[in-house]
Chain A
Amino acid sequence: MATTLAKAAEGSVAERTHAARIEHVSKSFSGPAGSQLVLDDISLDVAPGEFVTILGASGCGKSTLLNLVAGLDKPSAGSIETPGGRPALMFQEHALFPWLTAGKNIELALRLRGVAKAERRPEAERLLELVRLGGSYGKRVHELSGGMRQRVALARALAQDSRLLLMDEPFAALDAITRDVLHGELTRIWAETGLSVLFVTHNVREAVRLAQRVVLLSSRPGRVAKEWTVDIPQPRRIEDADVAELSLEITEHLRGEIRRHGQH
């Protein structure tokens, strides 16, 4: 922790070279069959302003990796640096607090960050505008649709004012049309804010649609299997031929990784 803080101080003065640095990280959990290795020697850098997706089948430990970067759990070996401070994290479920309105959910994040009372309301309104939910300040969580909830959750994550946004399959539970729209919104907000994003998914097309770089993890244990740089210009669409072509190639590799597990 001390090293992270030192790095943070250093990072704010000097030019930052990375938003997250994952070095030789391994993680094992003790289960009924003894210790089980979930992540094996993962090394990965996310550059400032970069959009990286981590792709993998079940059991590749992608959520575990995100939890480690978020600081919710500690690696068994290796180190993780996030010079921009505690990263913001978005879950597959919206995780909004139902006892607060949409606006108050965002204000709670601001308050916990230490924003003065008078500034919270205008800042919350601004963030709601950013996710195009300007009129929803007073709405209760159960009054919002699934897509709206995830946008409020995104606004709440942005309220943490972290330079790194971690996303754990945030659109997996949405219908296809809504997911498509939120891809567009996320790309727009990413471009506007200059955030670094580390996005976990099992959906290859989603990964290619969003990212500048796609990292494929193998399963049990999770290792970095292969990386692709995506230089298709934004704004992309999930139906674009370029997106489809690269998705096909990545899918073949993903299937190869999965097939290996059926062979013994």
Chain B
Amino acid sequence: MASTDTTTKATGKSDDLAGLEAGLDALDAVQTHRTPIREILVKKVFPPVLAVSLVLIVWQVLVATKVTEETKLPALSAVWDSLSDMWLKGTLLEVIWTSVSRGLLGFLLALAIGTPLGLLVARVKFVRAAIGPILQGLQSLPSVAWVPPAVLWFGLNDAMMFTVILLGAVPSIANGLVSGIDQIPPLYLRAGRTLGATGLRGARHIVMPAALPGYLAGLKQGWAFSWRSLMAAEIIASSPDLGLGLGQLLENGRNNIDLPGVFLAIILILVVGIAIDLLIFSPVERWVLRSRGLLAKS
């Protein structure tokens, strides 16, 4: 690699080659462009807004025409009053934050446990044979089933909540990583080995980044499981000792026969779950897929 001398004849020839090559590169270069904001608004934002509006309109019509009773379906305005009431009392953000902070903290714990677990299951044959099927099976167990034992183990406190979240989310994060690793094209692993990436270096430089799309899908599902598990725990195990979260809000609504409050709690749980996904997971996933050229252009 030391010498860069070439004979005059070779230089003349390679100059030809350079020109030809530059032409080919220019012709073959893949054109990339960004979608304009207007198009995003029309194609991505408008349809869901329309769908939600339609649901609200149907709801309002049902109430206005008295097809249903007020005790079965509260008026939109009643739910809105509950919302503004909570906002004015200053409890709205507090209640949301209690649940979101629990959910995210639990999710991060699940991430810290599920990731090495998934890596082990995917890469060590014995571990896969031993706990792979159990991990798969755990995913189909409703996390609400873990609430009674968790209450008996820890009592009514945050440790109980986190236990339920972990048992719900760790399997899906670990399984996501396992399927992400299983889908790595063997060529990347071979290329990595020829470059000298084996063992832990291979895991860090080849396996983990190559498995990232599947892993992210697992994380998204892990968040959904975390949130669902937490809500189950909050609804079943409400106690004044625990701060008021969205689940307790729902349960309190039932106890007070406050139907607008119950609907408000359900809507808030739904909106928060979707918002976390839209604000955190979807952008990260899109960025990863786009940077790898895996996002199909519509």
Q: Are A141 and B293 in contact (CB under 8 A)?
A: yes
Return the contact of A99 from the options B18, B28, B212 (Cβ within 8 A): B212
Asked if A14 is an interface residue, CB under 8 A from chain B, the answer is no
Partner-binding segment picked from B77-85, B140-148, B168-176, B189-197: B189-197
Whole-angstrom distance between the alpha carbons of A195 and B3 in the complex? 11
- Shortest CB–CB separation between residue B243 and chain A, in angstroms? 41
Do A112 and B196 form a contact, CB below 8 Å, given A98-B292, A140-B291? Answer: yes
Interface pick from B6-14, B94-102, B150-158: B6-14
Which positions 1-49 of chain B face chain A at CB distance < 8 Å?
1-6, 9-10, 13-14, 17-18, 20-22, 24-25, 28-30, 32
Q: Is the CB of A112 within 8 A of B14?
A: no
Bound together, the chains give a CA A89 to CA B195 distance in angstroms of 8
Residues from chain A with Cβ under 8 Å of B283 in the complex? none
Interface 1/0s, chain A 96-109, versus B by CB < 8 A? Answer: 01111000000011
Do B195 and A108 touch (CB < 8 A)?
yes
Q: Are A145 and B29 interface neighbours, CB within 8 A?
A: yes
Known: A70-B194, A95-B191. A143 touches B13 (CB 8 A): no
Nearest Cβ on chain B to A125's Cβ, whole angstroms: 15
Would you give the shortest CB distance from A69 to chain B, in whole angstroms?
A: 11
* C-alpha spacing A156/B188, complex, angstroms: 14
- A142 with B292: CB separation less than 8 A: yes
Given the known interface contacts A98-B293, A112-B195, A144-B30, the answer about A193 and B25 at a Cβ–Cβ threshold of 8 Å is no
Q: Are A143 and B4 in contact (CB under 8 A)?
A: no
Residues of A within 8 A of B195 (CB): 108-109, 112, 156, 160
Q: How far is the CA of A191 from the CA of B17 in the complex (A)?
A: 15
Q: Are A184 and B292 in contact (CB under 8 A)?
A: no
Closest residue on chain B to residue A166 by CB atoms? B194
Looking at the complex, which of B104-112, B123-131, B201-209 is the stretch in contact with chain A?
B201-209
Q: A142 is contacted by which of B17, B194, B206, B293 (Cβ under 8 Å)?
A: B293
Residues of A close to B22: CB separation below 8 A: 132
Tell me whether B190 and A181 are in contact (CB under 8 A).
Answer: no
How many A-B contacts if CB must be within 8 Å? 114
B-chain residues with CB within 8 Å of residue A234 when the two chains form the complex: 10
Contacts of A156 in B (CB 8 A): 195
- Residues B187 and A95 in contact, CB atoms below 8 Å apart: yes
Query: In the complex, are the beta carbons of B30 and A142 less than 8 A apart?
Result: yes
Is A192's beta carbon under 8 Å from chain B? yes
For residue B30, give the distance in angstroms from its CB to the closest CB of chain A.
5
Taking residues whose C-beta sits less than 8 angstroms from the other chain, chain B's interface range is 35 or more
Beta-carbon contact of B13 and A184 below 8 Å: yes
Interface residues on A, range: 35 or more
Query: In this complex, what residue of B is CB-closest to A180?
Result: B20
Bound-state CA distance A2–B42 (Å) is: 66
Complex CA distance for A141 and B290, rounded to whole angstroms: 12
Q: Smallest distance from the beta carbon of B297 to chain A beta carbons, Å? A: 12
Bound CA span A161–B1, Å: 8
Of the residues B25, B188, B197, B292, contact of A145 by C-beta under 8 Å: B25
> Is B293 in contact with A143, judged by CB distance below 8 angstroms?
yes
CB distance from A99 to the nearest CB of B (A): 4
Determine whether B276 belongs to the interface, using a CB cutoff of 8 Å to chain A: no
Closest to A89 in B: B194
Is A32 at the interface (CB under 8 A from chain B)?
A: no
Contact across chains for A86 and B194 when beta carbons are under 8 A apart: yes
The reply to whether B194 and A192 form a contact with Cβ atoms under 8 Å apart is no
> In this assembly, does A178 line the interface, its C-beta being within 8 Å of a C-beta of chain B?
yes
Question: Which residues does chain A contribute within 8 Å of B120, judged by CB atoms?
Answer: none
Give the docked Cα–Cα distance between A113 and B210 (Å).
20
Q: From residue B255, how far is it (CB to closest CB) to chain A in Å? A: 51
Give the distance in Å from the alpha carbon of A234 to the alpha carbon of B7 in the complex.
11
A97 to B25, Cβ gap below 8 A?
A: no
Cβ–Cβ < 8 Å partners of B1 in chain A: 158, 161, 192-195
**Beta-carbon contact of A185 and B6 below 8 Å:** no
**Docked pose: A257 CA to B47 CA in angstroms:** 64
Among the listed B9, B197, B292, which residue makes an inter-chain contact with A112, where contact means beta carbons less than 8 Å apart?
B197
Per-residue CB contact flags for chain A residues 51-94 toward chain B (1 = under 8 Å, else 0) read 00000000000000000001010000000000000111101010
Find residues 173-193 in chain A having any chain B CB closer than 8 Å to their own CB: 177-178, 181, 184-185, 188, 191-193
Bound Cα distance A147, B23 (Å): 12
Q: Is the CB of A147 within 8 A of B28?
A: yes
A134-159, CB under 8 A of B: which get 1 and which 0? 00000011111111100000001010
Please name all residues of chain B whose beta carbon is closer than 8 Å to the beta carbon of A70 when the two chains form the complex.
Answer: 194
Kindly list chain A residues whose C-beta atoms are within 8 Å of the C-beta of B20: 181
**Which residue from chain B places its CB closest to the CB of A141 in the assembled complex?**
B293
Residues of B near A111 (CB, < 8 A) are: 205
Q: Within the assembled complex, what's the spacing in Å between the Cα atoms of A237 and B291? A: 38
What residues on A are CB-neighbors of B210 within 8 Å? Answer: 97, 99
In the complex, chain A residues whose CB is within 8 Å of the CB of B2: 194
Taking CB atoms, residues of chain B closer than 8 Å to A113 are 196
Name B21's contact: one of A93, A158, A185 (CB within 8 Å): A185
Interchain CA distance A199-B11 in the complex, whole Å: 24
If A112-B196, A140-B292, A160-B195 are given as contacts, then 9 extra A-B residue pairs at C-beta distance below 8 Å, sorted by A number, are A87-B194, A89-B194, A91-B191, A95-B191, A97-B206, A99-B210, A133-B25, A147-B24, A192-B1
